[in-house]
Structure 1
Amino acid sequence: MNHLLLYCRPGFEKECAAEIRDVAEAEGIYGYCKLEDNSGYVLYVTHESGAALRLVDEADFSKLIFARQWVACLPVVDEISADDRISPLLEKVAELPPCQSVMVEPADTTDGREMQRFCNSFSSAFSQKLRRSKLLADANPYRLHIFALTGTCFYLGVAPVENSAPWPMGIMRLKFPNAAPSRSTLKLEEAWHWFVPPHEWQHYISGGLKAADLGAAPGGWTWQLVKQNMFVTAVDNGPMAESLMESGQVTHKPEDAFTFQPAKNLDWMVCDIVDKPARVTDLMIRWLVNGWCRETVFNLKLPMKQRYTEVRSCLAMIETALEEAGFKYRMAAKHLYHDREEITCHIRIL
Structure 2
Amino acid sequence: MTTPLTSAPFASGVVVYCRAGFESEAAQELDATAAQADVAGFARTERNAGFAEFVLTQQGAPDALLRLLGWSRLIFARQSLAVVGQFKALPREDRLTPLLAALPPGFRVSDVWVETPDSDAAKPLTAFCRSFNNAFVQHLRRSGSLDPASPWRLHALFPSGERCLLALALIDHAAPWPQGIPRLKFPREAPSRSTLKLDEALQVLLSPGERERWFKPGMSAVDLGASPGGWTWQLVRRGLHVTAVDNGPMDDTLMASGLVAHKRDDGFRFQPRQRVDWMVCDMVEQPRRVAARMAEWLAAGWCHRSIFNLKLPMKKRYAEVQQAFDAMRAEVEAAGRGLEIRAKQLYHDREEITVFAQIV
Task: Pick the TM interval, shorter chain.
Answer: over 0.9
TM alignment of 1:45-84, pairs within 5 A: 45-51=55-61, 53-59=62-68, 60-84=70-94
Q: Hey, what does 1:250 align to over in structure 2?
A: 260
Q: 1:273 to 1:95 in 2, by over 3 A?
A: farther
Q: Hey, what does 1:109 align to over in structure 2?
A: 119
Give secondary structure in 2 for the equivalent of 1:111: coil
- Deviation of the 1:56 alpha carbon: 4.0
Deviation string for 1:11-54 (max 9, x for gaps)? 10110000000101112112222211111011221211134x54
Q: Does 1:189 align with 2:199?
A: yes
Amino acid at match of 1:57: L
Q: Hey, what does 2:5 align to over in structure 1?
A: none
Amino acid at match of 2:67: E
TM alignment of 1:106-185, pairs within 5 A: 106-185=116-195
Alignment match of 2:27 (pick from 17, 41, 45): 17
- Deviation of the 1:67 alpha carbon: 0.8
Q: Does 1:282 align with 2:268?
A: no
State the distance in 1 between where 2:96 and 2:190 align. 45
Amino acid at match of 1:342: E
Amino acid at match of 2:153: R
- Return the TM-score normalized by structure 2: 0.93
- Size of the aligned set, in residue pairs, is 349
State the distance in 1 between where 2:316 and 2:331 align. 23
Q: Does 1:325 align with 2:335?
A: yes
Aligned-CA RMSD value: 1.5
Instruction: Between 266-275 and 321-330, report the one with greater CA deviation.
Output: 321-330
Q: Is the 8 A contact 1:32 1:45 kept in 2?
A: yes
Q: Does 1:213 align with 2:223?
A: yes
- Deviation of the 1:96 alpha carbon: 9.5
Deviation string for 1:258-301 (max 9, x for gaps)? 00111111111000000001110111011111111001100010
Q: 1:74 to 1:325 in 2, by over 3 A?
A: same
TM alignment of 1:310-349, pairs within 5 A: 310-349=320-359
Amino acid at match of 1:114: P
- Deviation of the 1:198 alpha carbon: 1.0
Q: Is the 8 A contact 2:296 2:331 kept in 1?
A: no
Amino acid at match of 1:323: E
Give secondary structure in 2 for the equivalent of 1:304: coil
- Deviation of the 1:74 alpha carbon: 3.1
State the distance in 2 between where 1:337 and 1:183 align. 13
State the distance in 1 between where 2:299 and 2:52 align. 37
Q: Is the 8 A contact 2:17 2:79 kept in 1?
A: yes
- Deviation of the 1:75 alpha carbon: 4.3
Q: 1:210 to 1:96 in 2, by over 3 A?
A: farther
State the distance in 2 between where 1:295 and 1:137 align. 40
Q: Is the 8 A contact 1:68 1:171 kept in 2?
A: yes
Q: Does 1:238 align with 2:248?
A: yes
State the distance in 1 between where 2:196 and 2:306 align. 16
Give secondary structure in 1 for the equivalent of 2:136: helix
Q: Hey, what does 2:96 align to over in structure 1?
A: 86
- Return the TM-score normalized by structure 1: 0.96
Q: Is the 8 A contact 1:215 1:257 kept in 2?
A: yes
State the distance in 2 between where 1:84 and 1:312 align. 46
State the distance in 1 between where 2:96 and 2:317 align. 41
Deviation string for 1:306-327 (max 9, x for gaps)? 1000000111111222222222
Give secondary structure in 2 for the equivalent of 1:317: helix
Instruction: Between 56-65 and 190-199, report the one with greater CA deviation.
Output: 56-65
Deviation string for 1:200-235 (max 9, x for gaps)? 222201110110000000100000011011111000
- Deviation of the 1:157 alpha carbon: 1.4
Gaps in structure 1 of 5+ consecutive residues: none
- Deviation of the 1:113 alpha carbon: 1.6
Alignment match of 1:2 (pick from 9, 12, 21): 12
Q: Hey, what does 1:291 align to over in structure 2?
A: 301
Q: 1:202 to 1:79 in 2, by over 3 A?
A: closer
Amino acid at match of 1:288: L
Amino acid at match of 1:47: T
Gaps in structure 2 of 5+ consecutive residues: 1-10
State the distance in 2 between where 1:138 and 1:201 align. 27
Give secondary structure in 2 for the equivalent of 1:269: strand
Q: Is the 8 A contact 2:217 2:240 kept in 1?
A: yes
- Deviation of the 1:4 alpha carbon: 1.6
- Deviation of the 1:97 alpha carbon: 5.3
Q: Is the 8 A contact 2:13 2:65 kept in 1?
A: no
